[in-house]
Structure 1
Amino acid sequence: MRCFYCLSGDLLQLKPRDEILTLEEIEEVCVAAAQCGVNYIRFTGGEPLVRQGIIDLIERVGRIEGVRKLGLSTNASHLAEVLDPLHRAGVRNLNISLDSLRTDRFAQITRGGKLKPTFDGILAAVAHGGFTIKLNCVMMRGFNEDELPELAALTLKYPLSVRFIEYMPMGQWQREKAIRNMGANIADGADDEFRAFGGHTAATEFLRKTPQEQMYSIEEMKRDLAARFELEETQDRPDGAGPARYFRIRGARGFIGVISPVFNPFCENCNRIRLTSDGRLKSCLLHDEKYHVKKLLRSEGYSRDKLVAVIREAIWNKPEKHEFSRNFDMSTVGG
């Protein structure tokens, strides 16, 4: 998948193998993080399920002393065939990206991705019954906001959470770069069907809009949902200490969550750090500050105590608030 709001730059460039962390190095960072009090580890991407050896890594991380919870963020296109191994490895939480239930629009958002494998993966996870499932839906005015009721109605049929997320506008430089390269970033396997739907045209038109025209706030979403459904407040938190605020449709099997990084940031309650594939430790997903642990891991004088100290420094120096207006691709930080 090459979602236009995540991968806005040039063609997706895979890093040389020696530039990304080995599975053993990732495990070592997890061990050190657990010594700092981290007890929930979630594997994200890109798409983590395409990484060779990922399930063995997850299983090893799950055995680390202090780690009590494992999660996975995925586009679900490869999920159905690995649900049993993931569950045996200890994964209990699945975050799945789903911004549209329309085949054509899904293809436009993902630059040629196909909806069926993703939705089949979601249904297989529901049928498995061993996972807490959260669908993450980035809502964009003038692009997919008309699907808000249909996406919310999934909670009436399935025992899962649908989380609506405000679209974060790109900086001017990043937006121009995205428009310039939109046609080049088409997913492998995209076919004539994708081009018949207009290809990247709709996404390009969306990116040309001003941030004010693109933004669809959480308060507007709640207002529009209340006009269609009878909503109930709930004290339940399907994601524990995560950033979403939850409510539900009366009689629903699942929950609706809202995440507002723009109009109502959740920074003061954020307790997360992020390890990128190339060995940078970020104390905030939307902040430039990063700690380069790969160099430390590969240094002659490496010790776990040194790594623990770096992780503690990153946690201690978490910024007061994010800087979402900066120019960067979410794909580079595992967004």
Structure 2
Amino acid sequence: MINHTPIADTYQRRFTYLRLSVTDRCNFRCNYCLPDGYCADSQEDYLSLEEIKKVVEAFALNGTRKVRITGGEPTLRKDLVEIIHLCKSTPGIESVALTSNGYKITRLLPRLVEAGLDQLNLSADSLRAENFKLITGHDKLQEVLHGLTLATELGVKRVKLNVVLMREHNLEELSAFVHFVKNKPITLRFIELMQTGDNREFYQAQHVGGSEIQEQLEKTGWSQVLREPHAGPAVEYTHTNYQGNVGLIMPYSKNFCQSCNRLRISARGNLHLCLFAEDHHKLRPHLLNESSRELAKRIKTLLGYKGEAHDLHQGNSGSTKHLAMLGG
């Protein structure tokens, strides 16, 4: 029997959203995340399809309604289509989303949609090909843009483009980014650069406060829209003259953690109660020995250890060395 009342923590926050990492590998070298490229820090295998099935079933029993597949770069998994289908066919799961850098998205997207993909987030930290390559290490801007168009043509319900704002690398493109959604039915989301274990100096030089962008949007006629059920942390805006929307993810904003509704599983089966927590909880030893219902009870108990808020304001990013570890 599916639990229609989502599990809650000690602060009465209810959790309906699972971010499931299926690999920590990434083929990009983004200057704010993996400037030196991917380097494995574990020889342990990633979760198998059988293990993923058990995890998703357990979360569904606990009231999870949305699963987002993240990485690293999830399209590096050869069984990604099977993963999407598995998630969408799990009783209780209403929506399956994917976050990708878009490297080969146009080749995979038709099969992903057929498997049940509902939402797609791609990334482009510049709309200029040369600058995109400088930031990511790859000349793939046109592939990402084609992926956005194809996703809308294939009927993906929500299509988003993520942009990490950096003062010296793309802030001057702010107007171009906003104009990008004037005639496109997508949401462009500006994400505040977050400090992690290995980017302190970069963060200090490049961080742009989301409140700066929020103020500009509101001065130019953008109005805030209601947050959808099971949505992520973005504050989203609409404008009568634009077909698309603009969102802001502002982890340094006041009360950011009050609306938290998501939990995270790493590619090797660790439960992370917060992206920036010091500790995590190993679920993998229990995946084959416990039933989905027993695992669901274990997750519910562990949720009692979730803290009230992260410590990013104090410069503490917990055990998160870089965002590829958990996909944000």
Q: TM-score range by the shorter chain?
A: 0.7 to 0.9
TM-superposed deviation, 1:320: 0.7
Under a length normalisation based on structure 1, what TM-score does the superposition of the two structures give? Answer: 0.81
8 Å CA contact 1:279–1:292 kept in 2: the answer is: yes
Identity of aligned pairs, percent? 31
State TM-score, norm by structure 2: 0.82
- What does residue 38 of structure 1 align with? 64
The equivalent of 1:175 in structure 2 is 199
In the TM superposition, what is the alpha-carbon distance from 1:96 to its structure 2 partner?
Answer: 1.3
Question: Which of 308, 314, 322 is 2:302 aligned to?
Answer: 314
1:329 matched to 2:303:
no
Paired residues for 1:261-280 under 5 Å? 261-280=251-270
Gapped regions of structure 1 (runs ≥ 5): 177-206
Q: Aligned partners of 2:45, 2:119: CA distance in 1, in Å?
A: 29
Match of 1:143 in 2: 169
Instruction: Find 1:221's aligned residue among 213, 216, 229.
Output: 213
Partner of 2:77: 51
Call closer, same or farther: CA 1:175–1:63 in 2, change over 3 Å: closer
Structural mapping, 1:1-335, within 5 Å: 1-7=28-34, 11-13=38-40, 16=43, 18-170=44-196, 174-175=198-199, 207=201, 211=204, 213-225=205-217, 230-237=220-227, 241-298=231-288, 301-324=289-312, 325-326=316-317, 328-335=321-328
Paired positions, count:
296
Displacement of 1:130: 2.9
1:218/1:259 contact within 8 Å kept = yes
Measure the CA separation in 1 of the matches of 2:94 and 2:218: 37
Contact kept in structure 2, 1:78 and 1:117, CA below 8 Å? yes
Answer with 108-117 or 30-39: which moved more: 108-117
**Aligned residue identity for 2:65:** N
- TM-aligned CA distance change 1:8 to 1:286, over 3 Å: farther
For 1:232 and 1:120, the matched residues in 2 are separated by 27
Decide whether the 8 Å contact of 2:66 with 2:230 is kept in 1.
no
Paired AA for residue 117 in structure 2: V
Residue aligned with 1:146, SS: helix
Evaluate the alpha carbon distance shift between residue 126 and residue 316 of structure 1 in structure 2; reply closer, same or farther with a 3 A threshold: same
Q: Which has the larger radius of gyration?
A: 1
Assess if the C-alpha contact under 8 Å between 1:77 and 1:121 holds in 2. Answer: no
Q: Tell me, what secondary structure is at the counterpart of 1:315? A: helix
Structure 1 pair 136–32 and aligned structure 2 pair: CA distance change class (3 A): same
Q: Is the contact made by 1:156 and 1:249 (CA closer than 8 Å) also made in structure 2?
A: no
Higher helix share: 1
- Distance in 2 between the 1:273 and 1:310 partners? 14
CA distance in 2, matches of 1:321, 1:76: 31
Deviations 1:52-88 (A, max 9, x none): 1111121122111111111111112222122222222
The letter of the residue matching 1:150 is A
> Which secondary structure state, in structure 2, belongs to the residue aligned with residue 258 of structure 1?
strand
8 A contact 1:76–1:122 mirrored in 2: no
How far apart are 1:247 and its partner, in Å? 1.5
